[in-house]
Amino acid sequence: MMRQISETGWRISPSDVERVVPFELLIDRIADDRQAHWIAGRRELHAHPEPSGQEYKTTAYIVERLKSLGIESRVPARGIGVVADLVLGSPNSVSPMIAVRADIDALRMQDRKGVAYASACAGLAHACGHDAHTTIVLATAELLATLTTRLPESEVPSARIRFIFQAAEETAEGAAWMVEDGALEDVAAILGLHVDPTIAVGKIGIRYGVLTAQVDEVLITVHGKGGHAARPQHTTDPLAASAALVTSLYALVPRRADSLYPTVFTMGSIHGGTASNVIPDVVE
């Protein structure tokens, strides 16, 4: 076997390295070996996005990947989302259960990329990184499961890990569903993760506690009195009122919210009217 000269000047083989510093270097080696596979898996998910509440194929994909690792999983009765537990080493009865969570749904928007793995589903795109989140947690599961076959039994860390793949994150429904379905039972701590394009490749950011704002949806209906667009003085124009309302809310929220707490208010959809020459009665 060809032996390498390390930075220390010693002649060692890759297997020697694992014996010297087994845990950290083994993790790096597994990641290097499986990197291409994980990238391909992420691109597979990216090409086949599913909207919130309809992640049936994504769920089946996750279950199959976990099964190939020897990890049993369960899917809630609604048929979307996955929960799987992994026991490493020999944890005792009071060892905490640590959860790692990813979201799996896509956004209802067009994927504008010109690459081979661009979305194959019109009007749907993994534009928020949930394909990457799912891949990261699946890779974590694979990496940890592989440790049990690559390390001596005495050197396998003892831990109880739960992998949570949450559906319907974008519609602010899936978290409550997973809690109702028992995903957090016995969980002492949970690691949520999200990609961030402002952080350089190869680095991660860590924050304890709440990181981003809680999601709530607001539906506002503005009622007015419609009429002909040429005679707005005879109407109570809900479009004009809606435009003023959006501007006021955008100006008000930053002035009323404590800057120490993440607060964002966004109007993503305005609907009103059916013709360019008619002022509508209602705007939503």
State pLDDT tens for residues 219-259: 999 999 999 999 999 999 999 999 999 999 999 888 888 87
**pLDDT-based confidence at 149, cuts 50/70/90?**
confident
Q: CA-based angle 46:50:56, to the nearest 5? A: 115
Cα–Cα distance, 91 to 189 (Å, whole number):
16
| pTM metric for this prediction | 0.82
Q: Which residue has the higher pLDDT, 91 or 24?
A: 91
How far from 188 is each of 85, 92, 179, 280, CA to CA, in Å?
A: 14, 14, 14, 53
Q: In terms of domains, do 230 and 186 share one?
A: no
Whether 166 contacts 84, CB under 8 Å: no
Query: Per residue in 49-68, pLDDT tens?
Result: 999 999 999 999 999 999 99
Together in a domain, 241 and 145: no
Tokens encoding 222: 């503005």
Q: Which domain holds residue 42?
A: 20-192
- Residue 17: per-residue pLDDT: 56
Is 219 in a helix, a strand, or coil? Answer: coil
Contact 191, 100 (CB under 8 A): yes
CATH code, domain with 81: 3.40.630.10
| 203 located within any domain | no
Is the domain of 237 the same as that of 134? no
Does residue 5 form part of some domain?
no
Confidence of residue 16 (pLDDT cuts 50, 70, 90): low
pLDDT value of residue 18: 54
Tell me the DSSP string of 250-265.
HHHHHHHS-TTS----
Domain with 239 in it: what CATH number? 3.30.70.360
Do 38 and 129 share a domain, yes or no?
yes
Q: How many structural domains are present in the chain?
A: 2
Please state the rounded mean pLDDT for residues 268-283.
94
Residue 11 lies in a domain: no
Is 254 contained in some domain?
yes
Residue 28 has a CB neighbour count (10 Å cut-off) of 11
Helix or strand run (H / E) with residue 13: none
Tell me: do 155 and 270 sit in the same domain: no
Domain assignment present for residue 198? The answer is no
Is residue 72 domain-resident? yes
* Together in a domain, 170 and 42: yes
Give the pLDDT of residue 73: 98
* Res 237: pLDDT: 96
- Decide: 4 and 10 in contact? Cβ < 8 Å: no
Query: Does residue 210 lie in a domain region?
Result: no
Residue 29 lies in a domain: yes
Mean pLDDT of all residues belonging to the chain: 90
| 45 neighbors 128 (Cβ within 8 angstroms) | no
Residues 180-224 pLDDT 10s: 999 999 999 999 999 999 999 889 898 888 777 677 888 999 999
Same domain for 145 and 102: yes
Residues 164 and 230 in one domain: no
Whether 88 and 103 have beta carbons less than 8 Å apart is answered as: no
Shared domain check, 127 and 71: yes
At 14, is the pLDDT very low, low, confident or very high (cuts 50, 70, 90)? low
